[in-house]
Chains A and B, each alone.
Chain A
Amino acid sequence: MAGSGSGGSRADNGYGSQQPRRRKGPGALATAYLVIYNVVMTAGWLVIAVGLVRAYLAKGSYHSLYYSIEKPLKFFQTGALLEILHCAFGIVPSSVVLTAFQVMSRVFLTWAVTHSVKEVQTEDSVLLFVVAWTITEIIRYSFYTFSLLNHLPYLIKWARYTLFIVLYPMGVSGELLTIYAALPFVRQSGLYSISLPNKYNFSFDYYTFLILVMISYIPIFPQLYFHMLHQRRKVLSHTEEHKKSE
Protein backbone atom coordinates (compact mmCIF):
# COMPACT_ATOMS: atom_id res chain seq x y z
CA MET A 1 0.00 0.00 0.00
CA ALA A 2 2.26 2.79 1.15
CA GLY A 3 6.00 3.27 1.61
CA SER A 4 7.91 3.15 4.85
CA GLY A 5 9.98 5.33 7.13
CA SER A 6 13.70 5.11 7.45
CA GLY A 7 16.37 7.64 8.24
CA GLY A 8 14.26 9.35 10.84
CA SER A 9 10.56 9.90 10.75
CA ARG A 10 7.35 8.85 12.41
CA ALA A 11 4.05 8.02 10.67
CA ASP A 12 5.77 8.16 7.34
CA ASN A 13 4.03 6.31 4.61
CA GLY A 14 6.59 6.85 1.92
CA TYR A 15 4.53 9.28 -0.09
CA GLY A 16 5.94 12.10 2.03
CA SER A 17 5.24 13.01 5.61
CA GLN A 18 6.93 14.02 8.85
CA GLN A 19 10.37 15.45 9.10
CA PRO A 20 13.20 13.72 10.91
CA ARG A 21 13.44 14.30 14.63
CA ARG A 22 16.47 16.00 16.08
CA ARG A 23 16.77 13.85 19.15
CA LYS A 24 19.96 12.22 20.34
CA GLY A 25 20.00 10.38 16.97
CA PRO A 26 22.07 7.38 15.88
CA GLY A 27 25.78 7.17 16.62
CA ALA A 28 28.48 7.84 14.03
CA LEU A 29 28.68 4.23 12.84
CA ALA A 30 24.91 3.92 12.55
CA THR A 31 24.73 7.22 10.68
CA ALA A 32 27.37 6.05 8.24
CA TYR A 33 25.48 2.81 7.68
CA LEU A 34 22.19 4.65 7.20
CA VAL A 35 23.73 7.03 4.69
CA ILE A 36 25.07 4.09 2.72
CA TYR A 37 21.71 2.32 2.97
CA ASN A 38 19.76 5.35 1.75
CA VAL A 39 22.22 6.07 -1.06
CA VAL A 40 22.01 2.47 -2.25
CA MET A 41 18.22 2.56 -2.17
CA THR A 42 18.13 5.87 -4.04
CA ALA A 43 20.41 4.37 -6.66
CA GLY A 44 18.31 1.23 -6.87
CA TRP A 45 15.09 3.08 -7.53
CA LEU A 46 16.90 5.28 -10.05
CA VAL A 47 17.88 2.09 -11.85
CA ILE A 48 14.23 1.12 -11.93
CA ALA A 49 13.24 4.58 -13.23
CA VAL A 50 15.88 4.45 -15.96
CA GLY A 51 14.84 0.90 -16.82
CA LEU A 52 11.25 2.01 -17.28
CA VAL A 53 12.20 4.93 -19.53
CA ARG A 54 14.54 2.83 -21.66
CA ALA A 55 12.00 0.06 -22.07
CA TYR A 56 9.33 2.58 -23.02
CA LEU A 57 11.57 4.16 -25.64
CA ALA A 58 12.58 0.77 -27.01
CA LYS A 59 9.09 -0.69 -27.16
CA GLY A 60 7.31 2.47 -28.21
CA SER A 61 4.42 1.72 -25.85
CA TYR A 62 3.86 1.77 -22.12
CA HIS A 63 2.28 -1.69 -21.94
CA SER A 64 3.98 -4.60 -20.19
CA LEU A 65 6.95 -2.58 -18.95
CA TYR A 66 6.87 -4.62 -15.72
CA TYR A 67 9.12 -7.31 -17.18
CA SER A 68 11.96 -4.89 -17.84
CA ILE A 69 12.24 -3.87 -14.19
CA GLU A 70 10.91 -6.96 -12.48
CA LYS A 71 14.16 -8.03 -10.84
CA PRO A 72 15.38 -4.68 -9.46
CA LEU A 73 11.85 -3.90 -8.27
CA LYS A 74 11.69 -7.13 -6.31
CA PHE A 75 15.20 -6.70 -4.96
CA PHE A 76 14.94 -3.12 -3.78
CA GLN A 77 11.38 -3.25 -2.52
CA THR A 78 12.17 -6.38 -0.52
CA GLY A 79 15.35 -4.71 0.74
CA ALA A 80 13.13 -2.16 2.45
CA LEU A 81 12.43 -4.86 5.05
CA LEU A 82 15.71 -3.75 6.61
CA GLU A 83 13.95 -0.57 7.65
CA ILE A 84 11.93 -2.57 10.14
CA LEU A 85 15.19 -3.66 11.74
CA HIS A 86 16.42 -0.07 11.76
CA CYS A 87 13.44 0.86 13.91
CA ALA A 88 13.76 -2.24 16.07
CA PHE A 89 17.39 -1.42 16.83
CA GLY A 90 16.55 2.18 17.49
CA ILE A 91 18.84 3.75 14.92
CA VAL A 92 15.76 5.25 13.32
CA PRO A 93 13.16 6.85 15.61
CA SER A 94 10.09 5.50 13.85
CA SER A 95 7.55 3.10 15.23
CA VAL A 96 8.43 -0.53 14.46
CA VAL A 97 4.80 -1.48 14.07
CA LEU A 98 3.97 1.33 11.66
CA THR A 99 7.07 0.76 9.56
CA ALA A 100 6.47 -2.99 9.51
CA PHE A 101 2.90 -2.44 8.39
CA GLN A 102 3.94 -0.12 5.58
CA VAL A 103 6.82 -2.23 4.29
CA MET A 104 4.86 -5.47 4.52
CA SER A 105 2.00 -4.02 2.50
CA ARG A 106 4.44 -3.07 -0.28
CA VAL A 107 6.15 -6.45 -0.14
CA PHE A 108 2.74 -8.13 -0.16
CA LEU A 109 1.77 -6.36 -3.35
CA THR A 110 5.11 -7.11 -4.99
CA TRP A 111 5.26 -10.83 -4.19
CA ALA A 112 1.85 -12.10 -3.15
CA VAL A 113 -0.06 -10.33 -5.91
CA THR A 114 2.08 -9.19 -8.83
CA HIS A 115 4.65 -12.00 -8.74
CA SER A 116 2.22 -14.77 -7.77
CA VAL A 117 -0.58 -14.03 -10.23
CA LYS A 118 1.30 -14.00 -13.53
CA GLU A 119 -1.72 -12.90 -15.51
CA VAL A 120 -1.79 -9.41 -13.93
CA GLN A 121 1.79 -8.62 -14.89
CA THR A 122 0.66 -7.27 -18.23
CA GLU A 123 -1.95 -4.98 -16.67
CA ASP A 124 -1.46 -1.24 -16.98
CA SER A 125 -2.38 -0.82 -13.32
CA VAL A 126 0.98 -2.37 -12.45
CA LEU A 127 2.75 0.42 -14.28
CA LEU A 128 0.62 2.92 -12.41
CA PHE A 129 1.81 1.88 -8.96
CA VAL A 130 5.38 1.08 -10.07
CA VAL A 131 5.79 4.63 -11.39
CA ALA A 132 4.24 6.10 -8.25
CA TRP A 133 6.48 3.99 -6.00
CA THR A 134 9.60 4.77 -8.06
CA ILE A 135 9.24 8.54 -7.96
CA THR A 136 8.25 8.48 -4.29
CA GLU A 137 11.12 6.27 -3.22
CA ILE A 138 13.75 8.19 -5.15
CA ILE A 139 12.66 11.39 -3.43
CA ARG A 140 12.22 9.75 -0.04
CA TYR A 141 15.59 8.01 0.09
CA SER A 142 17.45 11.08 -1.17
CA PHE A 143 15.57 13.12 1.44
CA TYR A 144 16.89 10.81 4.16
CA THR A 145 20.38 10.83 2.72
CA PHE A 146 20.57 14.61 2.70
CA SER A 147 18.95 14.86 6.14
CA LEU A 148 21.52 12.51 7.63
CA LEU A 149 24.25 14.64 6.12
CA ASN A 150 22.54 17.76 7.53
CA HIS A 151 22.37 19.34 4.13
CA LEU A 152 18.81 19.13 2.88
CA PRO A 153 18.05 21.12 -0.28
CA TYR A 154 14.68 22.82 -0.11
CA LEU A 155 13.72 21.30 -3.45
CA ILE A 156 13.91 17.79 -2.06
CA LYS A 157 11.92 18.72 1.01
CA TRP A 158 9.33 20.46 -1.14
CA ALA A 159 9.14 17.51 -3.51
CA ARG A 160 8.68 15.04 -0.69
CA TYR A 161 5.90 16.98 0.91
CA THR A 162 4.13 18.00 -2.28
CA LEU A 163 4.35 15.30 -4.92
CA PHE A 164 2.55 12.84 -2.68
CA ILE A 165 -0.63 14.77 -3.40
CA VAL A 166 -0.66 13.16 -6.83
CA LEU A 167 1.56 10.13 -6.28
CA TYR A 168 -0.29 8.68 -3.33
CA PRO A 169 -3.71 8.42 -5.00
CA MET A 170 -1.96 7.25 -8.15
CA GLY A 171 -0.19 4.46 -6.32
CA VAL A 172 -3.27 3.41 -4.39
CA SER A 173 -5.31 3.28 -7.60
CA GLY A 174 -2.68 1.14 -9.27
CA GLU A 175 -2.55 -1.20 -6.29
CA LEU A 176 -6.30 -1.59 -5.99
CA LEU A 177 -6.78 -2.14 -9.73
CA THR A 178 -4.04 -4.77 -9.72
CA ILE A 179 -5.55 -6.68 -6.83
CA TYR A 180 -8.95 -6.46 -8.48
CA ALA A 181 -7.50 -7.81 -11.72
CA ALA A 182 -5.95 -10.72 -9.85
CA LEU A 183 -9.22 -11.83 -8.27
CA PRO A 184 -10.65 -14.04 -11.04
CA PHE A 185 -7.34 -15.87 -11.49
CA VAL A 186 -7.06 -16.51 -7.76
CA ARG A 187 -10.60 -17.86 -7.66
CA GLN A 188 -9.92 -20.10 -10.65
CA SER A 189 -6.61 -21.57 -9.48
CA GLY A 190 -7.36 -21.67 -5.77
CA LEU A 191 -4.04 -19.92 -5.17
CA TYR A 192 -2.80 -19.96 -1.54
CA SER A 193 -6.12 -21.41 -0.44
CA ILE A 194 -6.86 -24.47 1.66
CA SER A 195 -10.26 -25.98 2.28
CA LEU A 196 -11.85 -28.40 4.72
CA PRO A 197 -11.61 -31.22 5.53
CA ASN A 198 -7.91 -31.53 6.36
CA LYS A 199 -6.05 -32.84 9.37
CA TYR A 200 -5.11 -29.35 10.56
CA ASN A 201 -8.72 -28.24 10.69
CA PHE A 202 -7.97 -25.00 9.00
CA SER A 203 -9.27 -23.19 5.94
CA PHE A 204 -8.12 -20.07 4.14
CA ASP A 205 -9.63 -18.42 1.11
CA TYR A 206 -7.13 -16.12 -0.56
CA TYR A 207 -9.84 -14.63 -2.77
CA THR A 208 -11.83 -13.42 0.25
CA PHE A 209 -8.61 -12.29 1.88
CA LEU A 210 -7.77 -10.09 -1.11
CA ILE A 211 -11.23 -8.56 -1.02
CA LEU A 212 -10.75 -7.76 2.67
CA VAL A 213 -7.40 -6.17 1.83
CA MET A 214 -9.07 -3.97 -0.76
CA ILE A 215 -11.77 -2.96 1.72
CA SER A 216 -9.12 -2.05 4.29
CA TYR A 217 -7.87 0.69 1.98
CA ILE A 218 -11.12 2.58 2.62
CA PRO A 219 -10.45 3.52 6.24
CA ILE A 220 -6.66 3.59 5.98
CA PHE A 221 -5.99 5.66 2.86
CA PRO A 222 -7.91 8.84 3.83
CA GLN A 223 -6.34 8.88 7.29
CA LEU A 224 -2.79 8.68 5.95
CA TYR A 225 -3.51 11.15 3.15
CA PHE A 226 -4.96 13.83 5.40
CA HIS A 227 -2.23 13.27 7.94
CA MET A 228 0.30 14.04 5.24
CA LEU A 229 -1.55 17.14 4.08
CA HIS A 230 -1.43 18.30 7.68
CA GLN A 231 2.28 17.54 7.88
CA ARG A 232 2.85 19.44 4.65
CA ARG A 233 1.30 22.58 6.05
CA LYS A 234 3.44 22.28 9.14
CA VAL A 235 6.76 21.51 7.50
CA LEU A 236 6.63 23.84 4.54
CA SER A 237 5.64 26.80 6.67
CA HIS A 238 8.78 26.40 8.75
CA THR A 239 11.51 26.57 6.17
CA GLU A 240 14.10 28.04 8.56
CA GLU A 241 13.90 25.74 11.52
CA HIS A 242 12.82 22.16 11.99
CA LYS A 243 10.25 22.19 14.70
CA LYS A 244 9.46 19.13 16.81
CA SER A 245 6.00 18.07 15.81
CA GLU A 246 3.69 16.12 18.12
Chain B
Amino acid sequence: FVSYQVEILDWKTKKQLCFLDKVEPNATIREIRLMFHKLYPQWYPARQSIKLDPKGKSLRDEEILEHLPVGTTATLYFKDLGPQIGWTTVFLIEYTGPLFIYFLFYFRMPFVYGLDERFTSSPHPVVNLACICHSFHYIKRLIETVFVHRFSHGTMPLRNIVKNCLYYWGFAAWLAYYINHPLYTPPSYGKKQINFAVIMFLLCEAGNFSIHVVLSDLQRNGSKIRKIPYPTKNPFTWLFFFVSCPNYTYEVGTWISFTVMTQCVPVGLFTLLCFIQMTIWAKDKHCTYLREFKDYPSLRMPIIPFLL
Protein backbone atom coordinates (compact mmCIF):
# COMPACT_ATOMS: atom_id res chain seq x y z
CA PHE B 1 0.00 0.00 0.00
CA VAL B 2 1.65 3.15 -1.20
CA SER B 3 0.26 6.52 -0.33
CA TYR B 4 0.64 9.31 -2.81
CA GLN B 5 1.83 12.86 -2.38
CA VAL B 6 0.13 15.48 -4.46
CA GLU B 7 1.48 18.95 -5.07
CA ILE B 8 -0.68 21.48 -6.83
CA LEU B 9 0.98 24.34 -8.70
CA ASP B 10 -0.49 27.47 -10.21
CA TRP B 11 -0.69 26.86 -13.97
CA LYS B 12 0.85 30.19 -14.89
CA THR B 13 3.32 31.08 -12.15
CA LYS B 14 4.16 27.44 -11.26
CA LYS B 15 4.12 28.48 -7.63
CA GLN B 16 3.24 25.68 -5.25
CA LEU B 17 -0.24 26.32 -3.92
CA CYS B 18 -0.53 23.24 -1.76
CA PHE B 19 1.12 19.98 -0.86
CA LEU B 20 -1.11 17.07 0.06
CA ASP B 21 0.52 14.30 2.03
CA LYS B 22 -0.68 10.69 2.41
CA VAL B 23 -3.25 10.72 -0.36
CA GLU B 24 -4.93 7.39 -1.07
CA PRO B 25 -4.08 5.90 -4.48
CA ASN B 26 -7.77 5.44 -5.27
CA ALA B 27 -8.63 9.03 -4.40
CA THR B 28 -10.74 10.73 -7.05
CA ILE B 29 -10.10 14.19 -8.46
CA ARG B 30 -13.35 15.23 -6.79
CA GLU B 31 -11.81 14.39 -3.40
CA ILE B 32 -8.66 16.30 -4.29
CA ARG B 33 -10.78 19.30 -5.24
CA LEU B 34 -12.50 19.13 -1.88
CA MET B 35 -9.15 19.02 -0.09
CA PHE B 36 -7.92 21.98 -2.10
CA HIS B 37 -11.13 23.85 -1.31
CA LYS B 38 -10.49 23.38 2.42
CA LEU B 39 -7.14 25.11 2.04
CA TYR B 40 -8.52 27.83 -0.25
CA PRO B 41 -12.16 28.40 0.71
CA GLN B 42 -12.65 31.02 -1.98
CA TRP B 43 -12.01 28.45 -4.71
CA TYR B 44 -14.96 26.07 -4.47
CA PRO B 45 -14.65 22.83 -6.47
CA ALA B 46 -16.70 24.00 -9.47
CA ARG B 47 -14.24 26.82 -9.97
CA GLN B 48 -11.15 24.62 -9.93
CA SER B 49 -9.60 23.42 -13.12
CA ILE B 50 -7.13 20.69 -12.13
CA LYS B 51 -4.90 19.42 -14.88
CA LEU B 52 -1.86 17.29 -15.58
CA ASP B 53 -0.38 19.81 -17.95
CA PRO B 54 -0.45 23.62 -17.48
CA LYS B 55 -2.02 24.08 -20.88
CA GLY B 56 -3.99 20.86 -20.91
CA LYS B 57 -7.61 19.89 -20.38
CA SER B 58 -9.23 19.91 -16.99
CA LEU B 59 -9.42 16.53 -15.26
CA ARG B 60 -12.89 15.16 -14.58
CA ASP B 61 -14.15 14.54 -11.06
CA GLU B 62 -14.34 10.79 -11.59
CA GLU B 63 -10.68 10.33 -12.55
CA ILE B 64 -8.72 8.25 -10.07
CA LEU B 65 -5.25 9.28 -8.94
CA GLU B 66 -3.49 5.95 -9.45
CA HIS B 67 -4.86 5.62 -12.99
CA LEU B 68 -3.32 8.91 -14.03
CA PRO B 69 0.11 9.00 -15.68
CA VAL B 70 1.81 10.29 -12.51
CA GLY B 71 4.37 8.90 -10.11
CA THR B 72 3.72 8.52 -6.40
CA THR B 73 4.49 12.23 -6.10
CA ALA B 74 2.02 13.77 -8.47
CA THR B 75 2.27 17.30 -9.80
CA LEU B 76 -1.03 18.85 -10.79
CA TYR B 77 -1.79 22.31 -12.07
CA PHE B 78 -4.58 24.58 -10.91
CA LYS B 79 -6.41 27.23 -12.89
CA ASP B 80 -9.15 29.41 -11.48
CA LEU B 81 -12.15 29.27 -13.80
CA GLY B 82 -13.69 32.33 -12.21
CA PRO B 83 -17.04 32.57 -10.48
CA GLN B 84 -19.35 29.82 -11.62
CA ILE B 85 -23.08 29.63 -11.85
CA GLY B 86 -25.20 26.49 -11.95
CA TRP B 87 -26.86 25.54 -15.24
CA THR B 88 -30.29 25.39 -13.69
CA THR B 89 -29.91 28.92 -12.36
CA VAL B 90 -28.67 30.09 -15.75
CA PHE B 91 -31.63 28.65 -17.59
CA LEU B 92 -34.11 30.01 -15.09
CA ILE B 93 -32.75 33.52 -15.53
CA GLU B 94 -32.41 33.21 -19.31
CA TYR B 95 -35.99 32.03 -19.79
CA THR B 96 -37.82 34.17 -17.24
CA GLY B 97 -36.50 37.32 -18.88
CA PRO B 98 -38.14 36.86 -22.30
CA LEU B 99 -41.37 35.76 -20.65
CA PHE B 100 -41.81 39.01 -18.75
CA ILE B 101 -40.19 41.27 -21.31
CA TYR B 102 -42.77 40.17 -23.87
CA PHE B 103 -45.53 41.18 -21.47
CA LEU B 104 -44.11 44.71 -21.20
CA PHE B 105 -44.77 45.09 -24.93
CA TYR B 106 -48.01 43.10 -25.05
CA PHE B 107 -49.64 45.23 -22.36
CA ARG B 108 -48.08 48.31 -23.98
CA MET B 109 -46.34 49.81 -21.00
CA PRO B 110 -46.31 53.62 -21.37
CA PHE B 111 -42.59 53.96 -22.08
CA VAL B 112 -42.68 51.46 -24.94
CA TYR B 113 -44.97 52.87 -27.62
CA GLY B 114 -45.47 56.34 -26.19
CA LEU B 115 -48.03 57.69 -23.75
CA ASP B 116 -50.89 57.84 -26.26
CA GLU B 117 -50.84 54.09 -26.82
CA ARG B 118 -50.35 53.07 -23.22
CA PHE B 119 -52.26 50.03 -22.04
CA THR B 120 -54.25 49.84 -25.28
CA SER B 121 -54.77 46.47 -26.88
CA SER B 122 -54.38 45.26 -30.42
CA PRO B 123 -57.46 44.72 -32.64
CA HIS B 124 -55.81 41.66 -34.19
CA PRO B 125 -56.52 38.24 -32.65
CA VAL B 126 -53.19 36.94 -33.92
CA VAL B 127 -51.38 39.31 -31.55
CA ASN B 128 -53.11 37.69 -28.57
CA LEU B 129 -52.36 34.27 -29.99
CA ALA B 130 -48.71 35.17 -30.44
CA CYS B 131 -48.48 36.24 -26.80
CA ILE B 132 -50.02 32.95 -25.67
CA CYS B 133 -47.63 30.93 -27.85
CA HIS B 134 -44.52 32.87 -26.84
CA SER B 135 -45.42 32.61 -23.15
CA PHE B 136 -46.30 28.92 -23.49
CA HIS B 137 -42.90 28.29 -25.07
CA TYR B 138 -40.95 29.88 -22.23
CA ILE B 139 -43.14 28.46 -19.46
CA LYS B 140 -42.61 25.02 -20.97
CA ARG B 141 -38.86 25.65 -21.00
CA LEU B 142 -38.91 26.74 -17.36
CA ILE B 143 -40.83 23.62 -16.33
CA GLU B 144 -38.43 21.43 -18.26
CA THR B 145 -35.44 23.11 -16.62
CA VAL B 146 -36.78 22.37 -13.15
CA PHE B 147 -38.30 18.92 -13.68
CA VAL B 148 -36.91 17.31 -16.79
CA HIS B 149 -33.38 18.31 -17.74
CA ARG B 150 -30.35 16.57 -16.34
CA PHE B 151 -27.18 18.55 -16.92
CA SER B 152 -23.89 16.81 -17.57
CA HIS B 153 -21.85 19.82 -16.55
CA GLY B 154 -22.64 21.39 -13.19
CA THR B 155 -21.70 24.98 -13.89
CA MET B 156 -20.65 27.61 -16.40
CA PRO B 157 -18.58 30.78 -15.95
CA LEU B 158 -20.53 33.71 -14.58
CA ARG B 159 -19.65 36.07 -17.41
CA ASN B 160 -21.45 33.82 -19.87
CA ILE B 161 -24.74 34.64 -18.29
CA VAL B 162 -24.42 38.32 -19.12
CA LYS B 163 -23.72 37.47 -22.73
CA ASN B 164 -26.54 34.92 -22.96
CA CYS B 165 -29.09 37.14 -21.27
CA LEU B 166 -28.24 40.06 -23.51
CA TYR B 167 -28.91 37.82 -26.48
CA TYR B 168 -32.15 36.15 -25.35
CA TRP B 169 -33.62 39.14 -23.59
CA GLY B 170 -32.55 41.54 -26.32
CA PHE B 171 -34.12 39.50 -29.07
CA ALA B 172 -37.30 38.94 -27.05
CA ALA B 173 -37.65 42.70 -26.66
CA TRP B 174 -36.93 43.31 -30.33
CA LEU B 175 -39.47 40.86 -31.69
CA ALA B 176 -42.08 41.69 -29.04
CA TYR B 177 -41.77 45.34 -30.05
CA TYR B 178 -42.87 44.67 -33.61
CA ILE B 179 -45.56 42.06 -32.93
CA ASN B 180 -47.32 44.25 -30.36
CA HIS B 181 -46.80 47.52 -32.23
CA PRO B 182 -49.90 49.64 -32.93
CA LEU B 183 -48.91 49.58 -36.62
CA TYR B 184 -48.58 45.79 -36.75
CA THR B 185 -49.85 44.20 -39.98
CA PRO B 186 -51.41 40.72 -39.65
CA PRO B 187 -50.26 37.88 -41.95
CA SER B 188 -51.01 38.19 -45.67
CA TYR B 189 -52.93 34.92 -45.96
CA GLY B 190 -55.05 35.59 -42.90
CA LYS B 191 -56.69 32.86 -40.88
CA LYS B 192 -55.36 30.03 -43.06
CA GLN B 193 -51.78 31.09 -42.43
CA ILE B 194 -52.32 31.60 -38.72
CA ASN B 195 -54.12 28.31 -38.12
CA PHE B 196 -51.54 26.33 -40.05
CA ALA B 197 -48.79 27.99 -38.05
CA VAL B 198 -50.50 27.30 -34.70
CA ILE B 199 -50.87 23.62 -35.50
CA MET B 200 -47.22 23.36 -36.55
CA PHE B 201 -46.24 25.22 -33.40
CA LEU B 202 -48.09 22.83 -31.11
CA LEU B 203 -46.79 19.76 -32.92
CA CYS B 204 -43.20 21.01 -32.63
CA GLU B 205 -43.60 21.87 -28.96
CA ALA B 206 -45.00 18.41 -28.27
CA GLY B 207 -42.16 16.88 -30.26
CA ASN B 208 -39.53 18.91 -28.45
CA PHE B 209 -40.97 17.92 -25.09
CA SER B 210 -41.07 14.24 -26.04
CA ILE B 211 -37.42 14.30 -27.00
CA HIS B 212 -36.43 16.00 -23.75
CA VAL B 213 -38.22 13.28 -21.83
CA VAL B 214 -36.40 10.56 -23.77
CA LEU B 215 -33.02 12.22 -23.18
CA SER B 216 -33.75 12.69 -19.52
CA ASP B 217 -34.74 9.04 -19.11
CA LEU B 218 -31.39 7.96 -20.53
CA GLN B 219 -29.67 9.36 -17.46
CA ARG B 220 -32.27 8.28 -14.96
CA ASN B 221 -29.96 7.05 -12.23
CA GLY B 222 -27.62 10.01 -12.41
CA SER B 223 -25.25 7.77 -14.33
CA LYS B 224 -22.74 9.68 -16.33
CA ILE B 225 -22.38 6.98 -18.97
CA ARG B 226 -23.55 8.24 -22.31
CA LYS B 227 -26.08 6.11 -24.17
CA ILE B 228 -27.51 6.29 -27.66
CA PRO B 229 -31.07 7.66 -27.61
CA TYR B 230 -33.58 5.54 -29.51
CA PRO B 231 -37.16 6.09 -30.75
CA THR B 232 -39.89 4.95 -28.38
CA LYS B 233 -43.58 4.19 -28.90
CA ASN B 234 -44.25 7.95 -28.97
CA PRO B 235 -44.51 8.93 -32.68
CA PHE B 236 -42.77 12.24 -32.01
CA THR B 237 -39.63 10.36 -31.05
CA TRP B 238 -39.53 8.54 -34.39
CA LEU B 239 -37.49 11.50 -35.65
CA PHE B 240 -34.61 9.73 -33.87
CA PHE B 241 -34.49 7.34 -36.85
CA PHE B 242 -33.31 10.19 -39.02
CA VAL B 243 -31.66 12.71 -36.76
CA SER B 244 -29.26 12.78 -33.79
CA CYS B 245 -30.71 15.88 -32.15
CA PRO B 246 -34.45 15.96 -32.89
CA ASN B 247 -34.96 18.34 -29.97
CA TYR B 248 -33.11 20.98 -31.97
CA THR B 249 -35.04 20.06 -35.10
CA TYR B 250 -38.34 20.56 -33.30
CA GLU B 251 -37.08 23.78 -31.71
CA VAL B 252 -36.28 25.27 -35.10
CA GLY B 253 -39.70 24.08 -36.26
CA THR B 254 -41.32 25.93 -33.37
CA TRP B 255 -39.65 29.16 -34.31
CA ILE B 256 -40.42 28.78 -38.00
CA SER B 257 -44.07 28.33 -37.04
CA PHE B 258 -43.94 31.42 -34.90
CA THR B 259 -42.41 33.37 -37.81
CA VAL B 260 -45.17 32.24 -40.15
CA MET B 261 -47.79 33.01 -37.53
CA THR B 262 -46.62 36.58 -36.97
CA GLN B 263 -45.12 37.27 -40.42
CA CYS B 264 -42.47 39.37 -38.77
CA VAL B 265 -38.89 39.78 -40.05
CA PRO B 266 -37.21 40.11 -36.62
CA VAL B 267 -38.77 36.79 -35.64
CA GLY B 268 -37.43 35.34 -38.88
CA LEU B 269 -33.95 36.67 -38.10
CA PHE B 270 -34.08 35.19 -34.61
CA THR B 271 -35.18 31.88 -36.13
CA LEU B 272 -32.25 32.00 -38.53
CA LEU B 273 -29.76 32.61 -35.73
CA CYS B 274 -31.33 29.82 -33.65
CA PHE B 275 -31.02 27.52 -36.62
CA ILE B 276 -27.34 28.34 -37.13
CA GLN B 277 -26.52 27.94 -33.43
CA MET B 278 -28.43 24.68 -33.12
CA THR B 279 -26.88 23.27 -36.24
CA ILE B 280 -23.46 23.90 -34.72
CA TRP B 281 -24.50 22.20 -31.48
CA ALA B 282 -26.13 19.30 -33.34
CA LYS B 283 -23.06 18.69 -35.51
CA ASP B 284 -20.92 18.71 -32.39
CA LYS B 285 -23.17 16.24 -30.61
CA HIS B 286 -23.39 14.07 -33.69
CA CYS B 287 -19.59 13.90 -33.95
CA THR B 288 -19.35 13.00 -30.27
CA TYR B 289 -21.83 10.16 -30.76
CA LEU B 290 -19.94 8.87 -33.80
CA ARG B 291 -16.68 8.91 -31.87
CA GLU B 292 -18.04 7.15 -28.81
CA PHE B 293 -20.22 4.48 -30.39
CA LYS B 294 -19.02 2.15 -33.11
CA ASP B 295 -22.54 0.93 -33.81
CA TYR B 296 -24.12 4.36 -34.13
CA PRO B 297 -27.06 4.31 -36.59
CA SER B 298 -25.67 5.36 -39.96
CA LEU B 299 -28.92 6.79 -41.32
CA ARG B 300 -28.87 9.64 -38.82
CA MET B 301 -27.91 13.19 -39.74
CA PRO B 302 -27.23 15.85 -37.08
CA ILE B 303 -30.31 18.07 -37.37
CA ILE B 304 -32.19 17.80 -40.69
CA PRO B 305 -33.10 14.32 -42.03
CA PHE B 306 -30.87 13.34 -44.97
CA LEU B 307 -29.55 16.86 -45.39
CA LEU B 308 -27.64 18.49 -42.56
Spell out A's residues near B (CB within 8 Å).
Answer: 196-203
Contact = CB atoms under 8 A, between A and B. Distances in A.
Interface in B254-268: 262-266
Nearest to A195: B183
Nearest to A204: B265
A202 B263 CA distance: 10
* Chain B CB within 10 Å, residue with most, of A201, A202, A203: A201
B185 A198 contact: yes
B188 A196 contact: no
Contacts of A203: 178
B162 to A, nearest CB: 15
A201 B262 contact: yes
Contacts of B179: 201
Interface in B210-261: none
Interface string B256-296: 00000011111000000000000000000000000000000
Contacts of A199: 185, 188, 263
Contact of A197 (B183, B188, B263, B266): B183
Nearest to A202: B265
Q: Which 10 A-B pairs have the closest CB atoms?
A: A202-B265, A197-B183, A196-B183, A201-B264, A200-B265, A201-B178, A199-B185, A197-B185, A199-B188, A201-B184
Mostly, the A contact residues are loop
Contacts of B181: 196, 201
Mostly, the B contact residues are loop
Interface residues of B, number: 12
28 contacts: A196-B178, A196-B181, A196-B183, A196-B184, A197-B183, A197-B184, A197-B185, A198-B185, A199-B185, A199-B188, A199-B263, A200-B263, A200-B265, A201-B178, A201-B179, A201-B181, A201-B184, A201-B185, A201-B262, A201-B263, A201-B264, A201-B265, A201-B266, A202-B178, A202-B264, A202-B265, A202-B266, A203-B178
Nearest to A196: B183
A203 B185 CA distance: 12
Interface in B59-113: none
A199 B184 CA distance: 8
Given A201-B179, A201-B181, 11 more contacts: A196-B178, A197-B183, A198-B185, A199-B188, A199-B263, A201-B178, A201-B184, A201-B185, A201-B262, A202-B178, A202-B266
Contacts of A197: 183-185
Nearest to B179: A201
A200 B187 CA distance: 9
A197 B124 CA distance: 14
Nearest to A201: B264
